[in-house]
Amino acid sequence: MHCLCLCLTEMRSIIVLLLLNILTDCSVSFTVKVPPGPVVAHVGSTVILPCWISPAQNAEALEIRWYRHGQFSNTVLLYRHGNIQDEQEETFRNRSSLTPLSDLSGGLKGGDVSLQLETITIQDEALFHCYVSGDNGYDSAELELKATAPGSAPVLFPRPLDDGRLNVSCSSSGWYPEPNITWTSDQGKTLRPAAVSHHRAADGLFSVHSWTTVSPSDAQLVSCSVSTTTGESKEGKVDIQGIISSDSSDPWKALFITVIICALLGLAALILYKYRSKPAGKKQAGTDCENGPVEERKVPVNINIEDLRKHAEQITIDRENISPDLKVTADCKCVRDSPEYHHTAEGFPYQLCAFGAQRFTSGRHYWEVELARENTPAKNYWLIGVAKHGNHCGKDRSAVTPSCGFWFLCSDGENGFYPNTETPIYLSVTPRPERLGVLLDYDEGLLQFYSVKESKHLLTMHTRFSDSIVPLFNPGVGDICPLKIVDCPVEEDSPAGVTVPLLNN
Ligand SMILES: *[C@@H]1O[C@H](CO)[C@@H](O)[C@H](O)[C@H]1NC(C)=O
Ligand SMILES: *[C@@H]1O[C@H](CO)[C@@H](O)[C@H](O)[C@H]1NC(C)=O
Ligand SMILES: *[C@@H]1O[C@H](CO)[C@@H](O)[C@H](O)[C@H]1NC(C)=O
């Protein structure tokens, strides 16, 4: 019953009144309760710091003061005389309130004095005091608020070293608190990082970078996992078998080498089979060449672009569903980032997307996109593929995966090229494609990319399409050259730099 001690020392002059209180009110004194352990909240989220008085009683006539440790008069929220008071630390204005913990708590009437805080920031991390006082006493309790931020999905990037091993780097940003990074290979074996570095950005969030070396004979998949003590964790993987190549400057060549090796193995198997003439020789050729979900083994080595163009479609950009930060020419063929747009966040600007106005629900469809212009270098940033009709592009890579209805190849400047497979795979392409051909085979569930100038197959993605599929374009930020669809005749009001269309069916 410490309620009385304070009152007695503070209000000696009205001792008589207090004595009356002793006799009448102390029976209804209370204690303040909070849950054990810290409350962990995501940066940007809304959180409730639970606090209630026990035994339950109406708290409407009490004073409720929420403050941070050591800042009694600098309140987060002050409720007194039946109202929330205006005196409050500025950073908590308009984002703190007394909010019942649940519908069943009865709110203030039921003694629930929980504090709700909106748009949590890292600076909100503190020891919060929940202090409640009434005419006949007071009590308080402490509750720790911890902020946490899950960073971006780790991006892995393998580079061949001279000794045949690979230098695989992993980076991720936007974490809080400072995360740990762990490397594992496919057998769950831990790999030792050669270096780990952390960086703290101005907004207080951490980024982490690490690299390690691995021999392709030791592992197929290398995985990098980033996690915090608050339980956030994200993992990225790279299939290093699909990347290693004899010519380190051109990992795409590795795919072709794989294709050729498979073809040779197939031939050898066929010869063996014929030679032995035994059913036992019927083992499927090429099963040893499984290379992950992306590479296509049955790719014709000699690509005839004219054959692909038999499936050409006239694609235009759908003006109605376009990111406000993009500009489209009058003929709906050219798209680029608006000059007013400044990309501040790290990573590719996935949200800057435009969709084709044409929808496909079956069959084969082909279109070409020009990524260079005379006397200018090929674009560094672009994202080209297909998406489910009606999709909206999120900012984050995790929002544009195949399971969300997106399939694309992305050129992300010096980060290289990657398809949006759920397991990240990185490739570097030289030279940069100046014109990209896209073949959508809806019924077979294939999406293929070609470099038109070199008549080269780049990549095949396997999937199963459902509903309407539309072309997807994203010009990235900062390139001189726009992204231009070139698969149909030029309209009369075409912008400067439009070339004569290739296709005249
Ligand atoms: C709080 O809201 C009021 C009225 O909506 C507004 O005038 C004031 O600027 C806001 N204060 C802060 C700190 O956001
Ligand atoms: C591996 O790559 C990182 C950059 O991601 C670089 O800092 C490091 O020096 C490279 N290590 C070797 C052995 O090349
Ligand atoms: C990070 O690693 C250090 C040292 O290995 C360890 O003490 C700490 O608990 C780890 N933190 C997390 C979040 O795993």
Q: What is the 3-state secondary structure (H, E, C) of 175-193?
A: EECCCEEEEEECCCCEECC
> Other CB atoms closer than 10 Å to residue 92's CB: what's the count?
18
Nearest CA to ligand 2 atom 6: 211
How far, in Å, is the centroid of ligand 3 from the Cα of 170?
18
How far, in Å, is the centroid of ligand 3 from the Cα of 186?
22
Domain-wise residue ranges, the chain? 27-148, 155-239, 283-486
Q: What's the pLDDT at 340?
A: 86
Q: Which residue ranges of the chain lie beneath pLDDT 50?
A: 1-9, 11-28, 244-266, 269, 271-300, 488-505
Same fold, 155-239 and 283-486: no
- Eight-state DSSP code of residue 487: S
Q: Name the fold adopted by 155-239.
A: Immunoglobulin-like (2.60.40)
Q: In 71-125, at which residue ranges do the beta strands (DSSP E only) sit?
A: 75-80, 83-84, 96-98, 115-117
How far, in Å, is the centroid of ligand 3 from the Cα of 175?
15
- Eight-state DSSP code of residue 224: E
Atom of ligand 1 nearest to the CA of 94: 1
Nearest CA to ligand 3 atom 6: 180
How far, in Å, is the centroid of ligand 1 from the Cα of 90?
10
Q: Name the fold adopted by 283-486.
A: Jelly Rolls (2.60.120)
Let me know: does 411 contact 382? Beta carbons within 8 Å: yes
Atom of ligand 2 nearest to the CA of 169: 5
Let me know: does 34 contact 130? Beta carbons within 8 Å: yes
Atom of ligand 2 nearest to the CA of 194: 11
> Other CB atoms closer than 10 Å to residue 213's CB: what's the count?
15
CA separation for the pair 312, 61 (Å, rounded):
75
Nearest CA to ligand 3 atom 1: 180
Tell me the pTM: 0.49
CA separation for the pair 71, 155 (Å, rounded):
42
Q: Name the fold adopted by 27-148.
A: Immunoglobulin-like (2.60.40)
Q: What's the pLDDT at 364?
A: 95
CB half-sphere exposure, 299, CA atoms < 13 A: 30
How far, in Å, is the centroid of ligand 1 from the Cα of 94?
6
Q: What's the pLDDT at 226?
A: 95
Ligand 2 pocket check for 382: Cβ under 6 Å = no
Residue in the block written with tokens 């440790």: 69
Residues 6+ apart with CB under 8 A from 177: 148, 206, 228, 229, 230
Q: Per residue in 30-64, pLDDT tens?
A: 999 998 889 999 999 999 999 999 888 899 999 99
- Two tokens, residue 205: 């969030």
Atom of ligand 3 nearest to the CA of 179: 13
Nearest CA to ligand 2 atom 14: 167
Nearest CA to ligand 3 atom 5: 180
CA separation for the pair 170, 501 (Å, rounded):
42
CA separation for the pair 219, 189 (Å, rounded):
10
Q: In 106-262, at which residue ranges do the beta strands (DSSP E only) sit?
A: 115-117, 126-134, 137-148, 155-160, 166-175, 180-185, 190-191, 195-200, 206-214, 221-227, 233-239
Substitution candidate for ligand 2 out of 167, 196, 212, 426 with most atoms within 8 A of CB: 167
Let me know: does 227 contact 233? Beta carbons within 8 Å: yes
Residues with CB under 6 A from ligand 1: 90, 93-94
How far, in Å, is the centroid of ligand 2 from the Cα of 194?
9
Nearest CA to ligand 2 atom 12: 167
